[in-house]
Structure 1
Amino acid sequence: MRLTFVSFLLLAGTSTAALAQEANPPLIDPTPGSDDRTEETVQRSSVASDIVVTARRRQEQVQDVPIPISVVGVKELDNTGSFNVSRLQQLQPSLQFYSTNPRNSSVNIRGLGAPLGLTNDGIDQGVGVYIDQVYLSRVAAATLDFLDVQQIETLRGPQGTLYGKNTVAGAINITSKAPSFEFEGRAEVSVGNLEFKQGKASISGPLSDNVAVRLGTAVTSRRGAIFNVATGNYVNEQDNLGVRGALLWRAGDNMNFTLSGDYSRQNPECCAQIFVRLGSTQRPLNRQFDALAAAFGYEPVSRNPFDRLTDLDADLNALNVLGGVSLRGEIGLGSGTLTSVTAWRFWDWGPANDRDFTGLPVTTKSNNPTKQNQYTQEFRYAGEGKSFDYVLGVFAFYQDIHTTGIQQQGPAASRWLINPTNPLSNDPSVLNGLTANNDIRLKNFSGAIFGKLNWKITDALTLSPGVRLNYDDKVGSYVSIVTDGQGNLVPYSGGTARQAAQRDAIQPQAFRDEAFREWNVSYDGTISYKLAPDVLLYGTYAHTFKSGGLNLNGVPVVNGVVQTQLAQIAPEKVDHFEIGVKSQFWDRRVTFNVTGFWTDIKDYQAIVNNSSTSTLRGYLANAGKVRVRGIEADLSVQPTSGFTFYINGAFNDHEYVDFKNAPCPPELSGGGTGAVIGAPGVPGANSPIVCDISGQWLPGISKWAFSYGAEYSAPATIFGEPGESYVAFDANSRTKFSSNASRSIYTDIDGYTLANARVGFRTDNKLNAFLWMRNVFDKKYFDVLATTPGNTGLIAGNVGDPRTYGLTIGISF
Structure 2
Amino acid sequence: MISTAWIKRRLLSSAMIAAALCGVSQEALAQGASTEGENELEVITVTARRQTENLQSTPISITAFSGDRLEAQGITQVNRIQDFTPNLTFANIPSNSGIASNAAVYIRGIGQNDFAPTVEPGVGIYIDGVYLGRTAGGVFDLIDVNSVEVLRGPQGTLFGRNTIGGAINLTTVQPSDEFKLKADIKYGTDDRINVRGMVSGPIAEGIYAKVSGGLFSQDGYVNAPGLGKKLGNQDTKMIRGALRIAPIDSRFEATIAGDYTRDKSNGAPVTISGIDPTATGSFVTLQNFIASGFGNPADCLTAAAVGNTQCYNQRLYSKDSNYSTGRTFSDLELWSASLTASYDLTDEMQIKSITAIRRINGTFAQDRDGSNLPINHVYDDFTQKQFSQEFQFTGKALDDRLNWVTGLYFFKEKGKDLNSIDFLVVSAESGGYYDYKNWAAFAQLGYKLTDKLTLTGGLRYTQDRKDYLPDQFVKSTLAPFLVIPPGTRIVPLQTVKADVNKWTPMVNLSYQATRDFMLYATYSQGFKSGGYTQRIFPPEPSLPSFKPETVDSYEAGFKLMALDNRLRLNGAAFYTDYKDMQLLVADATRVGPFITNAGKARIQGFELETNFAPGDGWRLNAAVGLTDAKFKQLDAGVQGLTLDSKFVYVSKWTVSASGEKEIGLGDNGSLTPHVDWSYRSGFFTNANGINNPELYQPGYSVFNGNVRWQSDSKTFSLTFGVDNIADKKFRTFGDYQPSFGFFMQAYDRGRQYYVKAGFSL
User: Structure 2-normalised TM-score?
Assistant: 0.87
Cα separation, partners in 2 of 1:407 and 1:497, compared to 1, 3 Å: closer
1:240-269 Cα offsets, whole Å, 9 max, x none, are 110000000014521100000000110111
Matched, 1:230 2:226: yes
The match for 1:3 is none
Retained in 1: the 8 A contact 2:431–2:535? no
Which position in structure 2 is the counterpart of 1:549?
Answer: 531
Cα distance change on mapping 1:662 and 1:639 into 2, 3 Å: farther
Q: Are 2:283 and 1:270 aligned?
A: no
Q: Is the 8 A contact 1:555 1:562 kept in 2?
A: no
Offset of 1:56 from its aligned partner? 0.7
Mapped contact 2:101–2:137 kept (Cα < 8 A): no
Q: Does 1:406 align with 2:440?
A: no
For the 8 Å contact 1:44–1:642, the answer to whether it is kept is: no
Q: CA-to-partner distance for each residue in 1:349-399, whole Å, 9 max, x for gaps? A: 110211223232334x41111011000000001110121100001000000
| 8 Å Cα contact 2:457-2:508 kept in structure 1 | yes
Residue pair 1:660, 1:694 contacting (<8 A) in 2 also: no
Q: How far is the alpha carbon of 1:274 from its aligned partner?
A: 0.3
- Quote the offset at 1:624 in angstroms: 1.7
| Structure 1 pair 344–692 and aligned structure 2 pair: CA distance change class (3 A) | closer
Equivalent runs, 1:273-284 vs 2, <5 Å: 273-283=270-280
Q: Does structure 2 retain, via aligned residues, the 8 Å contact 1:300–1:359?
A: no
The aligned residue for residue 41 of structure 2 is 47
Distance 1:46 1:290, change over 3 A: farther
Distance in 2 of aligned mates of 1:171 and 1:97: 12
Give the Å deviation of 1:302. 5.8
Q: Which residue of 1 aligns with 2:470?
A: 478
**Amino acid in structure 2 at the alignment position of 1:698:** F
SS where residue 83 of structure 2 aligns?
A: helix
Distance 1:43 1:189, change over 3 A: farther
1:132 aligns with 2:144: no
Aligned partners of 1:468, 1:321: CA distance in 2, in Å? 33
What is the match of residue 600 of structure 2?
Answer: 625
Q: Deviations over 1:128-157 (max 9, x none)?
A: 110001111111232221231111011111
- Partner amino acid, structure 2, of 1:59: T
Which of 729, 738, 743 pairs up with 2:691? 743
Secondary structure of 2:658's aligned partner = strand
In the alignment, what sits opposite 2:387? 375
Distance in 2 (CA, whole Å) between partners of 1:468 and 1:214 is: 35
Question: Residue 356 of structure 1 is aligned with which of 363, 369, 391?
Answer: 369
What is the CA–CA distance in structure 1 between the aligned matches of 2:237 and 2:185, rounded to whole Å? 14
Question: Is the 2:202–2:209 Cα contact (8 Å) retained in structure 1?
Answer: yes
Give distance in 2, aligned partners of 1:457 and 1:111.
Answer: 35
Kindly state the Cα deviation for residue 739 of structure 1 after the two structures are TM-superposed: 2.0
Going from structure 1 to structure 2, the CA distance change for 1:45 and 1:440 (only over 3 Å counts) comes to: farther
1:745-760 → structure 2 map (5 Å cutoff): 745-760=693-708
1:594 to 568, 571, 585: 571
1:297–1:449 CA distance, 2 compared to 1 (3 A): closer
Q: Are 1:498 and 2:444 matched, yes or no?
A: no
Aligned ranges 1:653-802 → 2 under 5 Å:
653-661=628-636, 663=638, 690-691=639-640, 693-717=642-666, 721-740=667-686, 741-763=689-711, 764-788=713-737, 790-792=739-741, 794-802=742-750
Is residue 2:546 matched to residue 1:563? no
Partner of 1:258: 255
Equivalent-residue separation in structure 2 for 1:177 and 1:290 (angstroms): 60
d(CA) in 2 for partners of 1:81 and 1:588?
Answer: 25
Q: Matched residues in 1 for 2:669 and 2:230: separation?
A: 41
Q: Secondary structure of the equivalent of 2:694?
A: coil
- Aligned position for 2:167: 171
User: C-alpha deviations, 1:93-114, integer Å up to 9, x for none?
Assistant: 3221231234654211112121
**Stretch deviating more after TM superposition (774-783 or 105-114):** 105-114
Structure 2: segments with no counterpart, 5+ residues? 1-35, 289-296
CA distance in 1, matches of 2:693, 2:636: 19
The residue matched to 2:190 in structure 1 has which SS?
coil
CA contact under 8 A between 1:653 and 1:703: conserved in structure 2? yes
CA 555–622 in structure 1, closer or farther in 2 if over 3 Å, else same: farther
Match of 1:217 in 2: 213
**Which of 108, 111, 114 is the matching residue for 1:113?**
111
How far did 1:78 drift?
A: 2.6
- AA aligned to 1:707 is S
The residue number in structure 1 matching 2:57 is 64
1:223 aligned partner, one-letter code:
D
| Equivalent AA in structure 2 for residue 728 of structure 1 | H
Deviation at 1:290, TM superposition (A): 6.2
Matched, 1:537 2:485: no
Which residue in the other structure is 2:407 paired with? 393
CA contact 1:556–1:563 (8 Å) conserved in 2: no
The amino acid of 2:746's aligned partner reads N
> Is 2:501 aligned against 1:519?
yes
2:190/2:220 contact within 8 Å kept: yes
Q: Is the 8 A contact 1:452 1:465 kept in 2?
A: yes
Aligned residue identity for 2:553: H
**Matched position secondary structure for 1:219:** strand
Contact 2:62 2:149 in 1 (8 A): yes
Question: Between Structure 1 and Structure 2, how many residues are aligned?
Answer: 698
| Separation in 2, partners of 1:55, 1:119 | 25
| 1:189 paired to 2:185 | yes
Aligned pairs for 1:630-645 within 5 A: 630-645=605-620
Aligned-pair distance for 1:790? 2.5
Q: 1:447 to 1:641 in 2, by over 3 A?
A: farther
Please provide the CA RMSD for this pair: 2.5
* Distance apart, 1:198 and its partner CA: 0.2
Using a 3 Å threshold, how does the CA distance of structure 1 residues 577 and 439 change in structure 2: closer, same or farther? closer
Alignment-mate amino acid for residue 584 of structure 1: M
Residue 36 of structure 1 corresponds to: none
Deviation of the 1:44 alpha carbon: 5.8
**Structure 1 CA distance for aligned equivalents of residues 378 and 269 of structure 2:** 13
Deviations, residues 746-781 of structure 1 (Å, cap 9, x unaligned): 221111111100012113430221100000011121
What is the CA-CA distance between 1:556 and the residue it aligns to?
6.2
SS in structure 1 of the partner of residue 69 of structure 2: helix
What is the match of residue 239 of structure 1?
235
Of 617, 623, 626 in structure 2, the residue corresponding to residue 648 of structure 1 is 623
- Match for residue 807 of structure 1? 755
Matched, 1:323 2:323: no
Answer whether contact 1:476 1:552 (CA < 8 A) is retained: no
Query: 5+ unaligned residues in a row in structure 1: which ranges?
Result: 1-41, 414-430, 485-489, 491-495, 664-689
> Do the aligned partners of 1:584 and 1:592 also contact (CA within 8 Å) in 2?
yes
Change (3 A) 1:444 1:243: same
Provide the C-alpha distance between the structure 1 equivalents of 2:261 and 2:285, rounded to a whole number of angstroms. 47
Which amino acid in 2 is paired with 1:563?
Answer: S
Q: Which amino acid aligns with 1:238?
A: Q
